[in-house]
Structure 1
């Protein structure tokens, strides 16, 4: 089973070696891994080359995730095609299952394994926030992306180059109807969210600004073709659960307050024109 894996990486030498080794364990025989090291000032590229000879590294001078995605996409030669953030942990077995699913005629066009949040070391407020986030319709209805998504050949043909936007995963997800998406519940990938509330708000502000950028550029799809953004759907989808679950009341207040803070953080970014600046969370990379 063939598969191309594209990994955009900017100054990720502390985590990318482990991520790549996990991908190669039990991976499909015809696996192509391309790392697009963009604007790196550390040893990311050398660390990738040291993992295995089959890892191909493309180096770009500027720090741009979109440029990295497009450069690696142009170099890739296999389908299906997976796009994986450098700090995400996914096994070769999960990638093989994705490749098999997306190669089936008449199958889904976009898919990902089940996402698991590693909250070890996260503050109580961060844990409370994600307790609600996991219950939103954004997470429970056709969620793919947020660090890893894979496209069939037909799915990748739905758009050309990646547009110059921050929310590339959101852009891709909303191109597909709910019945065109799939989640592999028997396999997972691990994401490490920010460990502090301040870092969570900073990251959330960038995500919210990216979602609004899609709307401003006319790249946001209609609700009937894809789910609403988490900013609009999060609170509404959780409210009916609250009357019978009093233990969710405090986490819900934390979630709402955090969403309000990310709204203001997004507004500041948009006004300052810093939406496209790298704003990486360092608390989850310690």
Structure 2
């Protein structure tokens, strides 16, 4: 079911925002509240996919600024396709249901797309550490130093695309690590991290949830590499970690933790890759509490 779509007589939209949501009742209100605070100039489409909780009801409760679609299949890619089909407004913003970005910051992302040659933008990432296990904090301290993490559009939960940018993304194969594939679809001069816009991305709080998330990422990365949509520079090598230690020797113990988590996650991911399982979503729940 869906609420009424936007009409030609409706307001002029700055952008459309597609939000795939699977059992996100704990966070969808927070996400939509931040997005809509003081700004109602977006065509917001929440696509509840395979939900068994109150996600759809809570999204509808945000008022007429939010359209809600419901599909039976629990699939992020299917939800994104449904959301894209439900709006013809550009630029198009893809927003994860568990992050927080203000409407004003989305406007900043959209405005950056007006610059010549820029087809995709994302905000600066804020990763709060409160409540996280010390080993999770150590992992994140290294992860945020990786050049591809600093420069890429992935792992931010928000990507804004121009019409030509969306057309390029539509031509990509469907992969688990969709944000990585989107980021790597654009050359450095075609994408931009907009430092004046911020998004809050809550990390896993437990080591177990960190591993689950990293298994998902490693599995998706392997698929993206096999499908030819991952740039070589997006991979983390020992030389990169070595440079981090040389630049910041105090991070050496943290690098050991980072390596340990990475080795375990890749080992578990290899089993999934061998079985061809690119659909099991190893979701962490602690970041949603």
For the criterion TM > 0.5, the same-fold answer is: yes
The answer on whether the counterparts of 2:221 and 2:230 sit within 8 Å (CA) in structure 1 is no
- Please report how far the alpha carbon of residue 194 of structure 1 lies from its aligned counterpart in structure 2 after TM superposition: 0.8
Q: Secondary structure at the match of 2:194?
A: strand
Return the alpha-carbon distance in structure 2 between the equivalents of residues 205 and 274 of structure 1.
12
Match of 2:43 in 1: 32
Match of 2:120 in 1: 110
Relative to structure 2, which stretch is displaced further, 272-281 or 38-47? 272-281
- Asked whether 1:219 is paired with 2:233, we answer no
- List structure 1 segments (4+ residues) > 4 angstroms apart after TM superposition: none
- Residue by residue over 1:89-130, the C-alpha shift from the partner in whole angstroms, topping out at 9 and shown as x without a partner, is 00011011112121x151411101101112211010000011
The answer on whether the counterparts of 1:114 and 1:188 sit within 8 Å (CA) in structure 2 is yes
Q: 1:244 to 1:67 in 2, by over 3 A?
A: closer
Cα RMSD of the aligned pairs, angstroms, is 1.7
- Please report how far the alpha carbon of residue 79 of structure 1 lies from its aligned counterpart in structure 2 after TM superposition: 1.0
Q: Secondary structure at the match of 1:242?
A: helix
- Please report how far the alpha carbon of residue 229 of structure 1 lies from its aligned counterpart in structure 2 after TM superposition: 2.5
Q: Secondary structure at the match of 1:42?
A: coil
Residue 174 (structure 1) aligned to one of 181, 184, 194: 184
- Please report how far the alpha carbon of residue 220 of structure 1 lies from its aligned counterpart in structure 2 after TM superposition: 2.2
Q: 1:100 to 1:248 in 2, by over 3 A?
A: same
The answer on whether the counterparts of 2:91 and 2:110 sit within 8 Å (CA) in structure 1 is yes
Instruction: Number of aligned residue pairs: give it.
Output: 276
- Please report how far the alpha carbon of residue 272 of structure 1 lies from its aligned counterpart in structure 2 after TM superposition: 4.0
Match of 2:147 in 1: 137
Q: 1:246 to 1:222 in 2, by over 3 A?
A: closer
Q: 1:11 to 1:222 in 2, by over 3 A?
A: closer
Q: Secondary structure at the match of 2:170?
A: coil
- Residue by residue over 1:174-215, the C-alpha shift from the partner in whole angstroms, topping out at 9 and shown as x without a partner, is 110011111111120010111111211111111111111122
Residue 22 (structure 1) aligned to one of 15, 19, 34: 34
- Asked whether 1:240 is paired with 2:243, we answer yes
Relative to structure 2, which stretch is displaced further, 238-247 or 111-120? 238-247
The answer on whether the counterparts of 1:9 and 1:44 sit within 8 Å (CA) in structure 2 is yes
The gaps in structure 1 that reach 5 residues or longer are none
- Please report how far the alpha carbon of residue 221 of structure 1 lies from its aligned counterpart in structure 2 after TM superposition: 4.5
- Please report how far the alpha carbon of residue 238 of structure 1 lies from its aligned counterpart in structure 2 after TM superposition: 3.2
Residue 234 (structure 2) aligned to one of 229, 234, 246: 229
The gaps in structure 2 that reach 5 residues or longer are 1-12
The answer on whether the counterparts of 1:66 and 1:163 sit within 8 Å (CA) in structure 2 is no
Match of 2:73 in 1: 62
- Please report how far the alpha carbon of residue 278 of structure 1 lies from its aligned counterpart in structure 2 after TM superposition: 2.7
TM-score, normalization: structure 1? Answer: 0.91
Q: Secondary structure at the match of 2:74?
A: coil
The answer on whether the counterparts of 1:70 and 1:161 sit within 8 Å (CA) in structure 2 is no
Return the alpha-carbon distance in structure 1 between the equivalents of residues 117 and 107 of structure 2.
15
TM-score, normalization: structure 2? Answer: 0.90
Residue 5 (structure 1) aligned to one of 17, 30, 48: 17
Return the alpha-carbon distance in structure 1 between the equivalents of residues 136 and 171 of structure 2.
35
- Residue by residue over 1:67-98, the C-alpha shift from the partner in whole angstroms, topping out at 9 and shown as x without a partner, is 00001011112111111110010001101111
Return the alpha-carbon distance in structure 1 between the equivalents of residues 115 and 187 of structure 2.
17
